[in-house]
Amino acid sequence: MDFPALLAFAERNPMLSLAFVGLTVAIIYTEIARLFRGYRSLRPAELTALINRENALVVDLSATNDFEKGHIAGSKSVQMSQFDPDSKLLAPAKALPVVVVCRMGQSSADAAKRLKKAGFTQVFWLDGGIAAWQQADLPLVKGRA
C-alpha cells in the first residue's frame, strides 16, 4: 500500500483513522511510562533467579488464608491493609532487592510503586502474581511462613 492510498483511506474513514491514532498514542505513552516508573516486573523464572542470586526479600500481600494455602518459599506475609514501606520488616531492606507478590499481580504493582516512592532502590513485582508462578509449575509452600 502506498501513501496516497493510505491517505484516501483515512479521508473515507475519519473515525477509524482517529481511533487508530488515539490507540497508537496511548500505547506509546504506556510504554514510555513503564520505562520510567522505577520498578520492574518479573516473570516467575526471573524471580527464581533473583532469589537464588541475590537473596531477594519476597513480600506476599495475599490474604492470610490464601497465603497459608500456598506461597513462595521464604516469602513474608504482609496484609495489604498493613503494608507500610517504613515497617520494621521492610525498612532495613531499602538497598536490597524487594519483590512484591499477590494472587493476580494487581495489588503488588501498586505496592511496588509505594516502595519506590519511599526510597527503595531495587523494587520488583511478580507479573501475574502467584497464579503466574503456578502456571510456570513452580512449587508453593503451604502453612505459615
Please tell me whether residues 51 and 86 are part of one structural domain: yes
Q: How many domains, the chain?
A: 2
Please tell me whether residues 16 and 47 are part of one structural domain: no
pLDDT at 95 over 90: no
| Interatomic CA distance for residues 142 and 99, integer angstroms | 19
Residue 145 lies in a domain: no
Give 104's pLDDT tier (boundaries 50, 70, 90): confident
Please tell me whether residues 26 and 69 are part of one structural domain: no
The CATH number of whichever domain residue 115 belongs to comes to 3.40.250.10
Domain around 30: 3-35
Residue 10 lies in a domain: yes
Residue 143 lies in a domain: no
Instruction: Give the residue-averaged pLDDT of 8-17.
Output: 92
pLDDT at 145 over 60: no
Please tell me whether residues 21 and 66 are part of one structural domain: no
DSSP 121: S
Residue 117 lies in a domain: yes
Question: How is residue 42 written as a grid cell?
Answer: 518479573
Residue from 32, 87, 5, 21 nearest 100 by CA = 87
DSSP 122: E
Please tell me whether residues 112 and 56 are part of one structural domain: yes
Please tell me whether residues 18 and 47 are part of one structural domain: no
Instruction: Give the residue-averaged pLDDT of 135-143.
Output: 93
Q: What is the DSSP string of 102-145?
A: -SSSHHHHHHHHHHHHTT-SEEEEETTHHHHHHHTT---B-S--
What does the mean pLDDT of the chain come to?
90
Please tell me whether residues 55 and 125 are part of one structural domain: yes
Please tell me whether residues 16 and 71 are part of one structural domain: no
pTM higher than the cut 0.85: no
Please tell me whether residues 19 and 48 are part of one structural domain: no
Note the pLDDT of residue 32. 83
